[in-house]
Amino acid sequence: MATNQGVLEPQVRFVQTLRTIQSIRDHVPDAFILLVDSSPVSVHSDIENEICAKADIAVFLHNLNPGLHLSRELGGFWKTPDHSKTLSETYALFHALTLVKVISSGRMNRRIFKISGRYHLSDNFDIGEYDRIELLGKYVFKRRRLSWLASEAGYLDTRLWSFCSTAIDETLSLLVSVFVCSIEASVDAEHAYFRKLLDSRVHEVATIHVAGQIASTGEELLE
């Protein structure tokens, strides 16, 4: 939330984050919400307190995120605004899933969703769509897209994706692979997920029913 990247001010990011949480409460009332913030600077205590009151658990990594420091040390490609967040966000998700695993002690029987901060579930989102038998054991992503990079066959959008809770260990390993792939191939997380996930494990959907503003441009998005 507290970042100078893009065109959105921190207060706007904060309001949008609250909307993210509320949209989840509205569409999935019994959801357990774990929020991890990787802002490069500390978030004001009043903002932290309000976020903590809305989410079930909120973790503010600030400069404790090793992905953030690694991006700075690598320099070059990783200092560009579009890519400097890749390693910190991947680590933040790894941190979140590790907490989920500890908290649940392996007793989960539902899907786990990752939604990007500041985006919200749109009116047509239906959690029941994820109860279908064909999604068991599958990762659900928005339909793959052609890459603008000549070296890449495609990428997977990561604004909203999910997986079966039984695959949490596999997903933690996947995140390590994505982290390493991003560094070694100098690609963002979206391209790294496409590289590392087998087609047989991914169920692609045309629409994920997510809306929000793209931070880099302020453009409104509805997917």
Query: What mean pLDDT do residues 171-191 have?
Result: 93
Higher local confidence (pLDDT), 214 or 82: 214
Class for the domain spanning 10-222: alpha beta
**Half-sphere exposure of 166 toward its Cβ, with a 13 Å CA cutoff?**
5
- The 8-class DSSP code of residue 159 comes to S
DSSP code of 87?
H
3-state secondary structure of 219: coil
Taking only the tens place, the pLDDT of each residue in 65-77 is 665 656 666 655 5
**What pLDDT score was predicted for residue 64?**
66
User: What is the C-alpha separation between 25 and 20, in angstroms, rounded?
Assistant: 9
Mean pLDDT score, 2-17 = 77
**Residues 147-169, mean pLDDT to the nearest whole number:** 95
Higher pLDDT, 195 or 43: 195
pLDDT surpasses 90 at 25: yes
